[in-house]
C-alpha cells in the first residue's frame, strides 16, 4: 500500500493499492479478502466496497460474511467525496436526500452521484443503504431486538423501507435472516444491549485502555478492571456505554440507552474511540524500520490512534492541557463537570454526570468554577466558537483547513489544535511540543514520519507509560 495516504476527519483515504472484494459471476456471491473460496480467476470481478458489489447484483458470502467485518473505505477520492462520505456515516441520508446532501456540499446531486459512481462504484444512496443493511444484519445476529427496533436502530426511516432494503441486499426478509444466525452469534445480555465491535487483529487493548484511563474525564469516564465506561447524552437523555476486550477480532460493547433509534451512529462513535475500523498496516509497514518508532511498534503491535466520543470534550481537554500538567487538568475537568454537567445519579463506577455541551460551557462562570483567568478565557472562546459553528470539529475538512479554523479561536495554540486533530482522526496531526526530541535539525517535527505522524506520536506517548502498556 502506498505511503501517500491521508485521513480527512474520520474517513480513511489511501492512494495506491487497496483492499478489494471479490465477486464470482457464476455464483452471484461476493467475498471479503481472505475468504477461503477458490473461484477461477476468469469468473471473478473485484469491487472496492461491498456496496458496489451489492449494487451490481451480488450477495454477501455466507462463509466470510463481509457485513460483520469492520474496515475503512480505501480509495483515491476527491476531497469533496471525503466530506460527503463522512456526512453519510453520521446519518445525512438516513432521512435526507441526495439533493439535500449535494446542497450541503454546494454541488448538484447529479455531480455527486457521478463522483461516487466513478470512485466507489455506487451512488450515495446505495452506500448509505448498504451501511444500514449491514448494521441491521449484525443486530439480527447478535441481539434479540424485535425487527421493528432493529429497523430504527439501524437508521431506516420505516419498517417497510427496512424490509425492502434487507431483501434487496441479502435476498431474504429480516426474520428469515435472524433464523439463519449461527448459535455462537447470539449475545445474551444481563441488562443493556450487547454487540460486537469487530476489528482486523491485532489490537493492543492494554495500551488503548491505559491511554484512556490517564485522560478519563472524572464523573464522565472510568476505566476499572479492564472495562471502559462512560456516560453519553442522546437528545438530552442519559445513556451508559461499557466496552471490554473479548475475542481475537472483536471488542464487546454493552449499551444502556434511553431508546434504540439511531443506534448505528452510537456504535460508529464508540468504534472511533478504539480505532476498530482503522487499517494500521500501512503505518506499521512504513515506520517499522524507523530507529525510534520501529522498536515501539514491535513492543505494542496493533496499537491504534485513540479516537474520541465527543469532539468538544477532546477540545476542552486540549485547551486545559495548554496551560497545566495532566494532574491539574484532571482536577479542572472534574470542576467543570461538577459546575456545568448534567447529574446522572445511580450509575456507580464513579460516573455521575454528562459532559456539558459547548453552549452550556459558553454560559458557565468558568472563573467561578476555579479555572485560572487565561484558561477560562480561552475555554470560553472555544465554547462560543463551537456553539456558533457545529461544523468546527466535524472532521470534514483537510488537516490544514481544520488547524486554521481551530487556531482562529483566541488563545488556542498550534500544538493544541494538533492535539485535537490527532484524536479526531487526522493521520498527519503532530503536536510538536509534546515530542521536541523528534525534530530534525532545521526541519519540521516528525517530518520523516509523514503522513503517519499521529500514529508515531501515539507510540511515543505510550512509551511514557511502560508499566501499564508494555
How high is the pLDDT of residue 15? 33
How high is the pLDDT of residue 439? 55
Which of 408, 396, 415 has its CA nearest to residue 457?
Answer: 415
How high is the pLDDT of residue 32? 85
Handedness of CA 332, 335, 338, 342 (dihedral sign): negative
pLDDT tens string, the chain, 470 residues long: the values are 333 334 443 333 333 334 688 999 999 999 988 787 788 888 999 988 899 999 999 999 988 898 887 655 654 677 788 778 888 888 889 888 999 999 888 899 999 999 999 988 899 999 999 999 999 999 999 999 999 999 999 999 899 999 999 999 999 999 999 999 988 888 866 678 999 999 989 999 999 999 999 999 999 999 999 999 999 999 889 999 999 999 899 999 999 999 999 999 999 999 999 999 888 999 999 999 999 999 999 999 999 999 999 999 999 999 999 999 999 999 999 999 999 999 999 898 999 999 999 999 999 999 999 999 999 999 999 999 999 998 888 766 788 989 999 999 999 999 999 999 999 989 999 998 887 666 544 466 788 899 999 999 999 999 877 555 44
Secondary element (H or E) of residue 252: strand 250-256
How high is the pLDDT of residue 464? 78
Which of 316, 404, 400, 311 has its CA nearest to residue 90?
Answer: 311
How high is the pLDDT of residue 312? 96
Is residue 226 classed exposed, middle or buried when 0-12, 13-18 and 19+ CB atoms within 10 A define those classes?
A: exposed
| Dist CA 432 CA 445 (whole Å) | 6
Annotation says 434 is catalytic: yes
How high is the pLDDT of residue 437? 65
| Dist CA 5 CA 75 (whole Å) | 9
Annotation says 31 is catalytic: yes
Q: What is the pTM of this model?
A: 0.86
How high is the pLDDT of residue 49? 86
Structural domains in the chain, sorted by start: 19-73 (3.40.10.10), 127-179 (1.10.10.60), 195-469 (3.30.310.20)
C-alpha dist (Å) from residue 349 to 79, 208, 223, 242, 346? 42, 19, 9, 11, 10
Q: Which one from 76, 317, 434, 437 is the annotated catalytic residue?
A: 434
Q: Which one from 17, 31, 279, 401 is the annotated catalytic residue?
A: 31
| Dist CA 346 CA 411 (whole Å) | 38
Which of 137, 261, 251 has its CA nearest to residue 194?
Answer: 251
49 and 127 Cβ atoms separated by less than 8 Å: yes
How high is the pLDDT of residue 279? 86
Q: Is 364 helix (H, G, I), strand (E, B) or coil?
A: coil
Please state whether beta strands 59-60 and 29-31 pair in parallel, antiparallel, or not at all (unpaired). Answer: parallel
Q: Is 245 helix (H, G, I), strand (E, B) or coil?
A: strand
How high is the pLDDT of residue 325? 94
How high is the pLDDT of residue 48? 82
How high is the pLDDT of residue 83? 79
Residue 227: φ, ψ to 5°: -120, 130
Amino acid at each position: 500500500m502506498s505511503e501517500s495516504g491521508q485521513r480527512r476527519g474520520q474517513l480513511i483515504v489511501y492512494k495506491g493499492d487497496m483492499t478489494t472484494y471479490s465477486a464470482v459471476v457464476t455464483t452471484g456471491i461476493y467475498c471479503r479478502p481472505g475468504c477461503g473460496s477458490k473461484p477461477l480467476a476468469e469468473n471473478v470481478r473485484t469491487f472496492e466496497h461491498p456496496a458496489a458489489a451489492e449494487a451490481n447484483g451480488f450477495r454477501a458470502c455466507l462463509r466470510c460474511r463481509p457485513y460483520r467485518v469492520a474496515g475503512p473505505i480505501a480509495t483515491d477520492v476527491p476531497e469533496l467525496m471525503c466530506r460527503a462520505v463522512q456526512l453519510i456515516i453520521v446519518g445525512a441520508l438516513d432521512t435526507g436526500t441526495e439533493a439535500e446532501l449535494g446542497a450541503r456540499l454546494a454541488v448538484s446531486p447529479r455531480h455527486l452521484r457521478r463522483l461516487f459512481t466513478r470512485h466507489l462504484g455506487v451512488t450515495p444512496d446505495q452506500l448509505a443503504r448498504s451501511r444500514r443493511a449491514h448494521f441491521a444484519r449484525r443486530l439480527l445476529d447478535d441481539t434479540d431486538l424485535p425487527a421493528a427496533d432493529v429497523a430504527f436502530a439501524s437508521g431506516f426511516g420505516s419498517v417497510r423501507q427496512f424490509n425492502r432494503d434487507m431483501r434487496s441486499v441479502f435476498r431474504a426478509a429480516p426474520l428469515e435472516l435472524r433464523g439463519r444466525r449461527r448459535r455462537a452469534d447470539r449475545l445474551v445480555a444481563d441488562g443493556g444491549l450487547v454487540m460486537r465491535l469487530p476489528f482486523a487483529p491485532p489490537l493492543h487493548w492494554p495500551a488503548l485502555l491505559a491511554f484512556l484511563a490517564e485522560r478519563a474525564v472524572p464523573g464522565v469516564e472510568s476505566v476499572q478492571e479492564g472495562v471502559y465506561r462512560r456516560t453519553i447524552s442522546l437528545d438530552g437523555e442519559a445513556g451508559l456505554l461499557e466496552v471490554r476486550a473479548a475475542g481475537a477480532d472483536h471488542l464487546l460493547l454493552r449499551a444502556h440507552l434511553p431508546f434504540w433509534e439511531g443506534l448505528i451512529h452510537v456504535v460508529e462513535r464508540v468504534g472511533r474511540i478504539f480505532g476498530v475500523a482503522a487499517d494500521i498496516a500501512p503505518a506499521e509497514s512504513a515506520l517499522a524500520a524507523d530507529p525510534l518508532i520501529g522498536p515501539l511498534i514491535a513492543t505494542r503491535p496493533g496499537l491504534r490512534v485513540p479516537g474520541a466520543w465527543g469532539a468538544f470534550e477532546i477540545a476542552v481537554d486540549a485547551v486545559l492541557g495548554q496551560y497545566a500538567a495532566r494532574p491539574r487538568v484532571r482536577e479542572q475537568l472534574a470542576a467543570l463537570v461538577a459546575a456545568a454537567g448534567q447529574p446522572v445519579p445511580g450509575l456507580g463506577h464513579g460516573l455521575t454526570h454528562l459532559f456539558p455541551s459547548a453552549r452550556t460551557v459558553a454560559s458557565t462562570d468558568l472563573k467561578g468554577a476555579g479555572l485560572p483567568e487565561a484558561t477560562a478565557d480561552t475555554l470560553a472562546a472555544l465554547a462560543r466558537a463551537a456553539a456558533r459553528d457545529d461544523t468546527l470539529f466535524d472532521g470534514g475538512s483537510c488537516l490544514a483547513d481544520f488547524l486554521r479554523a481551530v487556531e482562529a479561536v483566541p488563545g488556542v495554540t498550534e500544538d493544541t489544535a494538533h492535539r485535537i486533530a490527532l484524536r479526531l482522526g487526522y493521520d498527519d496531526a503532530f503536536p510538536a511540543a509534546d515530542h521536541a526530541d523528534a525534530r530534525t535539525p532545521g526541519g519540521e517535527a516528525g517530518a520523516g514520519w509523514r503522513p503517519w505522524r499521529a500514529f508515531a506520536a501515539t507510540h511515543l506517548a505510550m512509551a511514557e507509560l511502560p508499566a501499564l502498556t508494555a
